[in-house]
C-alpha cells in the first residue's frame, strides 16, 4: 500500500479517478483484489497484464458496466472528481455518457452513420435543434478522425464500414456525448496496422480533452500511446508508474518478468 501511495504522489496532473479498496467477485471468483489507484486527467493510462488478470473487469468498474453482469459484485470506493460513482443517487446511464467506452470489437448500432453518433446526444438532450445535432455529429466524426471518409454517406449503415472505420465510428459515438473519461478495452485488436496507427494517433489527440484508459496486450502500443502504465497480475495491481519507468526500470519482479516476456 505504501508503495502505491508513494507512486501516486508522483502523478503528473491532478487525479480524475480515485479508486480505493476495490474488490470484484464473480460468484466465488475473486477477480480484483484490493486495488487502489489514482488515474490522472488529460493523460493516457494503459492497463497491461496477462490474460485473465482482471484488466477488463477493473475497467468496467469505472463506468459500472459490471452492474450488467448478474454474478458480478463490486466493493470499495471509486470516485470521479470526488463523486462516488456507486452512490445510489448516481444514474448509471448518465454515468456512462460521462465515462464513455470503446470495446475490442467495433459494435456500431444497426443504424446509419449519422444516427450512430446522434443517438447519445439525442437521448441526453445535448442538442436544441437539428442544426445543433448536425454540428455535434460532425465534430464527433472529426474527433474520431473519420469525417472525411464518411461525410458524403452519413445515411449509409454504420455496419457497412470497414473494421477500422467502424472502430473510429464507435470512438466518434463515444466522444459525441462529451465524456470526461474514455475507457478503451483493446480497441485495436481487431484492426490492421494502418487502422491501428490511425486510432493510436486519435488517442493521443483525445488526451487533450479527456482522461483515457486503455487496456492493451501490446506493450509496444502501451509504450507508444500512454504516459502512465498499470501492471495487473492475478487480480492485483502490482505497480503503476510513468510508462517509460515501467518499461525500463520496473520495481516489481513480476512486472519485469511480464515485460521481458517471461510470464503471460
Ligand X SMILES: Nc1ncnc2c1ncn2[C@@H]1O[C@H](COP(=O)(O)OP(=O)(O)OP(=O)(O)O)[C@@H](O)[C@H]1O
The distance of closest approach from Cβ of residue 57 to ligand X in the complex, given in angstroms and rounded to an integer, is: 3
The distance of closest approach from Cβ of residue 55 to Mg ion in the complex, given in angstroms and rounded to an integer, is: 5
From candidates 17, 19, 22, 31, binder to ligand X by CB under 6 A = 31
| CA dist 230 → 13, 39, 102, 210 (Å) | 16, 10, 19, 18
Taking the least distance from each CB to ligand X, the nearer of 47 and 210 is 47
Q: Is 26 in the site for ligand X (CB under 6 A)?
A: yes
Q: Is 250 in the site for ligand X (CB under 6 A)?
A: no
With contacts defined by CB under 6 A, name the span among 6-14, 33-41, 48-56, 254-262 that binds ligand X.
48-56
Taking the least distance from each CB to Mg ion, the nearer of 57 and 116 is 57
The distance of closest approach from Cβ of residue 208 to ligand X in the complex, given in angstroms and rounded to an integer, is: 27
The entry of Mg ion, ligand X, none near residue 29 (CB within 5 to 8 angstroms by kind) is ligand X
Residue with cell string 487502422: 195
Chain residues in the site for Mg ion (CB under 5 A): 56
**Nine-digit cell at 235?**
487480480
Q: Is 255 in the site for ligand X (CB under 6 A)?
A: no
The distance of closest approach from Cβ of residue 170 to ligand X in the complex, given in angstroms and rounded to an integer, is: 18
**Nine-digit cell at 151?**
461525410
The distance of closest approach from Cβ of residue 71 to ligand X in the complex, given in angstroms and rounded to an integer, is: 6
**Rule CB under 6 A: which of 49-78 touch ligand X?**
49, 51-57, 69, 71
Binding site for ligand X (CB under 6 A): 26, 29, 31, 49, 51-57, 69, 71
Amino acid at each position: 500500500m505504501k508503495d502505491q501511495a508513494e507512486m501516486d504522489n508522483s502523478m503528473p496532473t491532478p487525479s480524475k479517478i480515485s479508486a480505493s479498496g476495490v474488490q470484484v467477485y464473480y460468484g466465488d471468483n475473486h477477480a480484483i483484489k484490493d486495488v487502489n489507484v489514482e488515474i490522472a486527467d488529460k493523460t493516457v493510462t494503459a492497463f497491461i497484464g496477462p490474460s485473465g488478470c482482471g484488466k477488463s473487469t477493473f475497467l468496467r468498474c469505472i463506468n459500472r458496466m459490471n452492474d450488467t453482469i448478474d454474478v458480478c459484485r463490486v466493493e470499495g470506493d471509486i470516485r470521479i472528481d470526488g463523486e462516488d460513482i456507486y452512490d445510489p443517487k448516481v444514474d448509471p446511464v448518465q454515468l456512462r455518457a460521462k465515462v464513455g467506452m470503446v470495446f475490442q470489437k467495433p459494435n456500431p448500432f444497426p443504424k446509419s452513420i449519422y444516427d450512430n453518433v446522434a443517438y447519445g446526444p439525442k437521448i441526453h438532450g445535448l442538442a436544441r435543434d437539428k442544426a445543433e445535432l448536425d454540428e455535434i455529429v460532425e465534430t464527433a466524426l472529426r474527433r474520431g478522425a473519420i469525417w472525411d471518409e464518411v461525410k458524403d454517406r452519413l445515411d449509409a449503415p454504420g455496419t457497412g464500414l470497414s473494421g477500422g472505420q467502424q472502430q473510429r465510428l464507435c470512438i466518434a459515438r463515444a466522444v459525441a456525448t462529451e465524456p470526461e473519461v474514455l475507457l478503451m478495452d483493446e480497441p485495436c485488436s481487431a484492426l490492421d496496422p494502418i487502422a491501428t496507427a490511425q486510432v493510436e494517433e486519435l488517442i493521443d489527440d483525445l488526451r487533450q480533452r479527456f482522461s483515457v484508459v486503455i487496456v492493451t496486450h501490446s506493450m509496444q502500443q502501451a509504450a507508444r500511446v500512454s504516459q502512465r502504465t498499470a501492471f495487473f497480475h492475478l487480480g492485483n495491481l502490482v505497480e503503476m508508474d510513468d510508462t517509460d519507468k515501467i518499461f525500463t526500470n520496473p520495481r516489481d519482479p513480476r512486472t519485469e518478468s511480464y515485460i521481458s516476456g517471461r510470464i503471460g
